[in-house]
A and B are shown apart, each in its own frame.
Chain A
Amino acid sequence: MESRRHTLRHDLVIHVVLGFLAIVTFFPFVFLLISSFRPTVDFMHTFWGLPTAPEWANYRDAWTVISPYMLNSLIVSGVSMIGVLAIASVSAFVFARFRFPGREVLFMAILALLMIPSILTLIPAFLLVKDLNLINTYWALILPYIAGGQVFAIFILRSFIASLPEELFEASRLDGASTFQMFRHIALPLSKPMLITVAIMNVLATWNDYIWPLVTIPSQKLWTISLGIVSFGSQYGGLERWGPMFAGYVIASVPLIVLFTLTMRYFIAGLTSGAIKA
């Protein structure tokens, strides 16, 4: 009891400062959530108060507009994430567990890509996708997302797989396991926390991307959620229909929050572990 009070006394100033920062950080989100239930007519009168009655129509209106964009993003982000995991884990396994001529050179060739800014490749990549007739297809997003997303994934997964004890692989080799079996039954299961971290970071990146879908997907039917959010905002904002607009933002945030809640344990552990260091 005495020590708990001692701890609290030590922590008190920190709680005040961090608490203040947290409130400032979260205030706009809470305001958004409350206002998403506000009838549009209420906006001028009860700006700061609670809505007179929750306006569910806001959510119904927003859902009809935003759900097709969400479906497009689910497909694009989902397929890209699976592609990145499949390709990056195989390559990371090769770099971590094989000895072969050119290994260092090839790995450096991948690492060097971390130095190439996306702004440099934006225009030629757009023209390439255009020449390949992929404009207005999911592939215009998925293929470059897999190609780009695997770089960091290989980087993280390689060092993780390399840190696994050699005895595990040696033992299975003695039992006659093939290289693929070692990959499938030893490397993959043990890398699960890292695979999940890579998957979430990848989904976050593709779900949030704006510029690339903006240039490669002119057709509104195939728009991803980011494009949808912006057009939705200007469409409803222009009409001062704030209620449905805010409801739409809340709906657009749900998939990532659900994904994050399901995997938070791995994600925070993965992010703060030694994997991401200078």
Chain B
Amino acid sequence: MSATLSTPSSGQPAVARPLTARVARYRTAYLWLIPTFALLLVFNYYPALSALYHSLFQWNGANIKLFVGVNHFVDLWHDPLWWESFTHLIILTVALVAINLTFPLGAAAMIFHLWNLRAAYFYRVLLVVPMVVPGLVILMIWMFIYSPNIGLLNQSLALLGLENLQRFWLGDFKLALYAIIFVGFPWVAGIGTLIYLAGFQAIPSELMDSAVIDGASTWQRLAFVELPMVLSQIKLVVILTVITAFQNFTIVLVMTNGGPGTKTLVPGLHLYKAAMAYNRMGYACAIGTVLFFLTLVLTYLNHRYLRSSVEFTGS
């Protein structure tokens, strides 16, 4: 008995180990983290700090670097192009949030309500397939849809005898921004639908059963049980949509380059042009800084005010 007790066991708790062993173990941990932090320091932390710092400088990225304090932010306040691009961003963001709260959510709810589970799986796979078509190919398809002569939209209108509705969609001063919003219609094939679906599927079945026993109709179940239970997914989709809208300008750069005129200019593209076309690196950094803080504030508000009524996910 006593022999077994005195036998040193390697299953001892870590605290009982000699100090040198623990330090050696720490060293492995730190050593193994070096590649991650080396790359992050160079390519993530440094550029982020550099952007904040250089927003205070007149900077051409090379030999000219003059401290100008908050002048860039004052200039931005008086920059009509900034305000125009910002207005477009607000319109785009509101529209995209509204879209993502309806079409993908509706599609996910419908898939969830199917009794035939094989059909549900089929639709789920179907809605993932367009996600693997390269994003630029999708943009080019939409450029073809909007193309004035041979475009799918104008040709469809001709087929219906509605030639008077044909437009040069992306070149129209009034319509171009809305044409951009409409890209991706009907917006059901994407990450949003999958996130919602994951939320629906995580609802405890007892909850659904008791709603049925209480005599709730399908619509009542949707409104009072299912939607409140996927609120954290709704929150996630909203914040992902806002963040994407604030920083993604590939779509306007490729489809309209901000035009016609400046009718589809967004802040991201304004930043890009300030830097790449006019070499105003400091001003570009100031725009980036403003966008960064706006994103932070919106993320915080989303977190603070779109509260889940039931916080049960535990993550």
Contacts and interface: CB of A to CB of B under 8 A. Distances in A.
Interface in B270-307: 271-272, 275-276, 281, 284-285, 288-289, 291-292, 295-296, 299
Contacts of A150: 36, 39-40
Contact of A120 (B30, B116, B147, B291): B291
A217 interface: no
Contacts of A230: 136, 140, 254
Contact of B291 (A99, A119, A170): A119
Contact of B43 (A29, A125, A179, A257): A125
Contacts of B263: none
B133 interface: yes
B33 A29 contact: no
B116 A22 contact: no
B259 to A, nearest CB: 15
B188 interface: yes
User: Chain B CB within 10 Å — which of A18, A47, A174, A215 has the most?
Assistant: A18
Interface residues on B, range: 35 or more
Interface residues of A, number: 94
Contacts of A128: 42-43, 46-47, 50
Contacts of B246: 117, 119
Contact of B232 (A91, A179, A278): A278
A38 B282 CA distance: 50
B113 A100 contact: no
Given A7-B116, A147-B43, A226-B136, A31 B152 contact: yes
B288 A116 contact: no
B125 to A, nearest CB: 7
B94 interface: no
Contacts of B189: 25
Nearest to B288: A120
Interface stretch (B73-81, B165-173, B191-199): B191-199
A116 B132 contact: no
B220 interface: no
A268 interface: yes
B40 A110 contact: yes
A148 B43 contact: yes
A123 B150 CA distance: 38
Interface of B: 10-11, 14, 25-26, 28-30, 32-33, 35-37, 39-40, 42-48, 50-52, 54, 61, 103, 107, 110-111, 113-116, 119, 123-137, 140-145, 147, 150, 152, 155, 159, 185-186, 188-189, 191, 194-195, 197-198, 201-202, 232-233, 235-236, 243, 246-247, 249-250, 253-254, 268, 271-272, 275-276, 281, 284-285, 288-289, 291-292, 295-296, 299, 313, 315
B51 A117 contact: no
A64 interface: no
A28 to B, nearest CB: 5
A21 B10 CA distance: 61
15 contacts: A18-B107, A26-B130, A28-B141, A28-B145, A48-B155, A94-B33, A119-B246, A119-B292, A120-B291, A124-B46, A148-B44, A170-B11, A211-B249, A271-B128, A273-B198
B186 A24 contact: yes
A271 B194 contact: yes
A251 B159 CA distance: 30
A271 B134 CA distance: 19
Contact of A277 (B61, B107, B198): B198
A274 interface: yes
Contacts of B236: 277-278
A171 B168 CA distance: 69
A48 B125 CA distance: 28
Given A11-B114, A87-B36, A122 B143 contact: no
A150 B43 CA distance: 12
Contacts of B186: 21, 24-25
A94 B159 contact: no
